[in-house]
């Protein structure tokens, strides 16, 4: 019996009105286990791969999923039929989808073409010709059961993701299908706080202590009840036992993810070459005075020499106080996503920032050596005069005052309530690790 690794990528298996690609992948996972049993082995946790958050075509979280399994070559046709049937059935329940994508790659090693697809889909807009070339290069190693749609971009990109990079895990609990129409979720928030305090060293973004509310549940009418994010899959199972859930659940599964790792900040871009729908970082100096908009958002201008770009720091991030104190000459490295603002052009939505401030230098008129008052110029080439006592001199020099602004130097990240999927929260700094495919251990779905 000849065995082969099969990578099943799914994307856009949802709609703006409901559904969730992770939920669809959970149903595919359960279907494969039921259909093939011991004839199929999962060689990695399901991968939840978040892609470029600036892309306007995403439905919600712009997350794709890949299931990595090992099975007999003779099972491939049945596997493709099973996956396709489950996805089509799910889409029928939703009443359609944006542009769903299924990509099934056959091969032990993830090829460079899919690694490039992942990086592109994570940090930029993927044009149709880029997708076409990638599919052509993959040849008969890739199967596209639903044809070539926009969702195929994310499906292929997910297969190329989470290979030798920092990763986290998320245990997602799903609601019963009848409850998905109700946006209100029945989870005891007090138990979330207790769970967070107990597992603080291993989890993140569970509870917002500033506002006194849980962060684990979404708000829309979709199948996700809650998600617990952390560093270790086995700990997440223990953490779930501390949560009081008061509605029916259909099951749960642990994903390995690129969330909370800043993967989309990996590219340093030139200010004169940024475009809408990109993600990354720029370095330069602040020029001019920060502009405070109505509502408290702050817009900076960052220049790297001959070119400049606007950077918006939003009030809810908690980073506007330092942004308002920046002055011309301050060095900054700002990271985030680039979007188009009408009447302005490309604007960086700041998700992370490093500030290296310049010192302020002030020049004050010399003091009178007789009475100590500040003197005034007596005219060009005529020295100084004291208006208080009348003393005059040609030998005084202006006083140089250096105002140090070292207190502004440092890294700034959003507060927990404003953290987006990919952005690394404070609790994760120092926990980075190099991850690759990991065979699931213990109970990892139900």
By DSSP bridging, strand 224-230 and strand 360-364 are unpaired
Domain-terminating residue out of 105, 132, 160: 160
Query: Confidence class of residue 310 from pLDDT cuts 50, 70 and 90?
Result: very high
Same domain, 7 and 116: yes
pLDDT in tens, 292-305: 999 999 999 999 98
Same domain, 318 and 412: yes
Query: Confidence class of residue 164 from pLDDT cuts 50, 70 and 90?
Result: very high
Angle, helices 76-94 vs 21-36, to 10°: value is 140
Q: Does some domain include residue 439?
A: no
Name residues whose C-beta falls within 8 Å of residue 425's C-beta, 6 or more positions apart in sequence: 204, 205, 260, 413, 416, 419
pLDDT of 60 over the 90 cut: no
pLDDT in tens, 359-407: 999 999 999 999 999 999 999 889 999 999 999 999 899 999 999 999 9
In this structure, what CATH number is given to the domain that contains residue 353? 2.40.50.1010
How far is it, in rounded angstroms, from Cα 48 to Cα 50?
Answer: 6
Alpha carbon 395 to chain centroid distance? 60
Mean model confidence pLDDT for the chain = 95
Q: What is the mean pLDDT of residues 414-434?
A: 96
Same domain, 49 and 102: yes
Same domain, 218 and 133: no
In this structure, what CATH number is given to the domain that contains residue 65? 3.30.70.2200
pLDDT of 59 over the 70 cut: no
Report the share of the chain in percent with pLDDT over 90: 91
Same domain, 195 and 52: no
How far is it, in rounded angstroms, from Cα 413 to Cα 423?
Answer: 9
Half-sphere exposure of 383 (CA within 13 A, CB side): 11
pLDDT of 195 over the 70 cut: yes
pLDDT of 58 over the 80 cut: no
Q: What is the mean pLDDT of residues 162-190?
A: 94
Q: Does some domain include residue 311?
A: yes
Same domain, 352 and 376: no
Same domain, 312 and 243: no
pLDDT score of 15: 80
Structural domain range at position 321:
263-358+406-422
Beta pairing partners, 170: 229, 255
Same domain, 289 and 416: yes
Same domain, 223 and 351: no
pLDDT in tens, 127-140: 999 999 999 999 99
Domain count, the chain: 4
pLDDT score of 332: 98
pLDDT score of 91: 92
pLDDT of 61 over the 90 cut: no
């Amino acid at each position: 019996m000849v065995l082969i690794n099969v990578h099943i990528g799914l994307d856009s298996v949802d709609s703006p009105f409901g559904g969730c690609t992770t939920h669809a992948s959970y149903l595919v996972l359960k279907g494969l286990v039921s259909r093939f049993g011991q004839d199929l082995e999962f060689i990695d946790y399901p991968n939840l791969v978040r892609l470029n958050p600036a892309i306007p075509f995403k439905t919600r979280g712009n997350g794709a999923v890949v299931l990595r399994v090992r099975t007999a070559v003779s099972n491939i046709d049945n596997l493709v039929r099973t996956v396709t049937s489950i996805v089509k059935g799910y889409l029928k329940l939703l009443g359609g989808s944006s542009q769903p994508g299924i990509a099934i790659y056959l091969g032990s090693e993830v090829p460079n073409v899919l690694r490039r697809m992942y990086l592109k889909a994570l940090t930029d807009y993927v044009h149709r010709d880029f997708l076409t070339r990638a599919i052509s290069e993959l040849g008969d190693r890739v199967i596209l059961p639903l044809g070539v749609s926009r969702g195929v971009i994310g499906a292929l990109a997910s297969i190329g993701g989470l290979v030798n990079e920092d990763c986290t895990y998320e245990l997602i609990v799903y609601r019963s299908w009848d409850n998905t129409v109700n946006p209100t979720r029945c989870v005891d928030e007090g138990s979330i706080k207790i769970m967070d305090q107990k597992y603080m060293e291993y989890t993140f973004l569970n509870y917002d202590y500033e506002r006194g509310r849980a962060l684990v549940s979404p708000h829309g009418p979709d199948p996700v009840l809650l998600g617990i994010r952390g560093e270790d899959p086995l700990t997440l199972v223990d953490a779930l036992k501390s949560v009081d859930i008061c509605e029916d659940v259909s099951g749960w599964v642990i994903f390995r993810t690129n969330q909370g790792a800043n993967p989309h900040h990996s590219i340093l871009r030139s200010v004169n070459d940024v475009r809408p729908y990109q993600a990354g970082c720029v370095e330069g100096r602040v020029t001019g005075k920060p502009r405070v908009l109505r509502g408290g958002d702050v817009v900076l201008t960052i220049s790297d020499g001959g070119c400049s770009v606007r950077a918006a720091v939003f009030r809810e991030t908690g980073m506007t106080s330092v942004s308002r104190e920046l002055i011309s000459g301050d060095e900054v490295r700002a990271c985030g996503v680039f979007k188009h603002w009408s009447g302005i052009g490309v604007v960086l939505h700041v998700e992370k920032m490093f500030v290296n401030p310049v010192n302020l230098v002030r020049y004050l008129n010399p003091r009178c050596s007789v009475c100590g008052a500040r003197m005034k110029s007596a005219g060009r080439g005529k020295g100084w005069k004291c208006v208080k006592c009348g003393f005059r001199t040609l030998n005084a020099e202006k006083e140089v005052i250096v105002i140090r602004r070292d207190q502004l130097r440092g890294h700034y990240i959003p507060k927990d309530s404003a953290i987006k999927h990919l952005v690394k929260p404070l609790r994760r700094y120092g926990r980075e690790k190099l991850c690759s495919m990991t065979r699931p251990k213990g109970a990892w779905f139900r």
